[in-house]
Amino acid sequence: MYYSGLVRNFVLTLSKRHVSSSSGLGCGSTMLVTPLPSQFNQSMFNNVVASNKLIANYLRLGDMDSALQVFDKMTVKSTVTWNSILAGYAKNLGNFEVVRQVFDKIPEPNSVSYNIMLACYLNNFGIHRARAYFDVMPVKDTASWNTMISGYAQIGLMGEARMMFLAMPEKNTVS
């Protein structure tokens, strides 16, 4: 198969239903077959959507090095690309300073970028530093508010969680 006439084969994702019912494997897990970045020619990395999918697959497999290889070879990086790498560092590295450096390089951070950082503050420094970060966040969405409410609730500060809930401008089913 050719992708836009540039690259043969490769990203094969089978759904859980397909793997468990069609193949008889019975494992019920997602199967990813993703080549190494060195197996692609440079024109592959001109396609932001395809490159983002590769990065997501590598990160899902815990292969930060391959995700970074794709990231480094990309000619154009979207905010989605940057957010994937940011989340990958946050999950796989656990070094807040590196995560912060990546965040600072994002040309146009969005609510997802800020929410990744909020979760990092919560996980690394606790509720009070997370709240200080939340208070200065330029972009807050429902996920931001829910993260803070959950953070308060998880440590038993139900009064603060309730106050956040009541102050929340828009609520959704998660709230």
Cα–Cα nearest to 73, from 108, 37, 119, 109: 37
Return the pLDDT at 8.
39
Q: What ranges do the domains of the chain cover? A: 1-77, 96-175
pLDDT at 24 over 70: no
- Specify whether the backbone of 156 is left (phi greater than 0), alpha (psi in -120 to 50) or beta: left
Check pLDDT > 90 for residue 156.
yes
Please count the other Cβ atoms lying within 10 Å of the Cβ belonging to residue 152.
22
- Give the pLDDT score at 94: 73
Question: What per-residue confidence (pLDDT) applies to 131?
Answer: 95
H-type alpha helices, the chain: 16-22, 48-60, 64-73, 79-92, 96-105, 111-125, 127-136, 142-154, 158-167
**DSSP annotation of 31:** E
* pLDDT value for 13: 42
Residue 18: which pLDDT band, with cuts at 50, 70 and 90?
Answer: very low
CA distance 145 to 151: 10
Provide CB contacts within 8 A for 66, sequence distance 6+: 34, 36, 37, 58
pLDDT of 142 above 90: yes
pLDDT of residue 37: 58
Residue 94, Cα to own-chain centre: how many angstroms?
A: 14
At residue 157, does pLDDT exceed 50? yes
**pLDDT tens digits along 73-128:** 998 999 999 999 999 999 887 788 999 999 999 999 999 999 999 999 998 889 99
**pLDDT reported for residue 31:** 42
pLDDT tens digit sequence for 25-68: 444 444 444 555 555 666 667 789 989 999 999 999 989 999 99
